[in-house]
Amino acid sequence: MTQRREVIKAMGITAIAGLCGVYPRITAAQTAKTSDSTTTPYTVPPLPYAYDALEPYIDAQTMHLHHDKHHAAYVKNLNAALADHPELAKLPVDDLVKHLDRVPETIRTTVRNNGGGHANHSFFWQVMQKNSPGQPKAELAKAIDARFGSLSGFQEQFTKAAMNVFGSGWAWLSLDDKQQLTIETSPNQDSPWMGGRTPILGIDVWEHAYYLKYQNVRADYVAAFYKLISWDFANAQYQSGFTK
């Protein structure tokens, strides 16, 4: 009931705010011009490829559910939670979750879960692509070799991390505050941003990400993920970690 009231309240406030022209800019992470982009601060970005582009590794039905239902729910709940806080709702979502201390305690857990969900999924769609190059290049390739010995050394450790997430969560390759590559996991919708780190790539290991195709065999889904990694995106993330 509380959530329903919040949604109704959010609708009223966004309508008024829209008329007053106080609504925040659409950030780079939200370039989607969806029909409601003028009345809500956060929107679900469209997939950067077709729903079936990642077949046979991730099926179109999973992508539809994951993007159109799960990701959309995080955005809807986030907008409802921030209805009375337009100053927070105008932040790029990764900045929002990086500074949860600025979020009032009464809505902090909701923002952590749903803001995290929005940030993580917006990232996740971009970290995959059709026809992945299969391996990193340039600076990221060198850094992975230096840190993990080789690409297969990295994959071994990353797979282990992804398999060891108990329940719902994520595994990440990120850049820590010493600008060192590190493999980490996060529960629920927590993310490296929340600890001040820059994600380079990450895999969603919530069952909703793989259950339709892989059922309980998470290992096969993780193995398939390596066929999908957008190493150009990962390299760009790596570079961006040095400019922050």
Q: Please identify, using beta-carbon distances, which residue of 209 and 222 lies nearer to Mn ion.
A: 209
Helix axes 105-126, 72-81, angle to 10 degrees: 150
Helix axes 2-20, 72-81, angle to 10 degrees: 80
Least gap, CB of 60 to Mn ion (angstroms): 16
CA-based nearest residue to 24, from 88, 120, 104: 88
Least gap, CB of 75 to Mn ion (angstroms): 13
20: exposed, middle or buried (Cβ count in 10 Å: 0-12, 13-18, 19+): exposed
Q: Out of 57, 148, 206, 233, point to the residue binding Mn ion (CB under 5 A).
A: 206
Least gap, CB of 195 to Mn ion (angstroms): 20
Cis bond upstream, residue 104 (ω within 30): no
Q: Please identify, using beta-carbon distances, which residue of 169 and 241 lies nearer to Mn ion.
A: 169
Least gap, CB of 70 to Mn ion (angstroms): 5
Q: Please identify, using beta-carbon distances, which residue of 15 and 60 lies nearer to Mn ion.
A: 60
Q: Please identify, using beta-carbon distances, which residue of 170 and 238 lies nearer to Mn ion.
A: 170
> Of all residues in this chain, which one has the CB nearest to Mn ion in the complex?
204
Least gap, CB of 68 to Mn ion (angstroms): 12
Under the binding rule (CB under 5 A), the answer on residue 190 touching Mn ion is no
Helix axes 218-225, 151-163, angle to 10 degrees: 150
Round to whole Å and give the CA distance between 38 and 79. 13
216: exposed, middle or buried (Cβ count in 10 Å: 0-12, 13-18, 19+): exposed
Q: Please identify, using beta-carbon distances, which residue of 83 and 209 lies nearer to Mn ion.
A: 209
Size of the site for Mn ion (CB under 5 A): 3
Under the binding rule (CB under 5 A), the answer on residue 204 touching Mn ion is yes
Q: Which residues bind Mn ion (CB under 5 A)?
A: 204, 206, 209
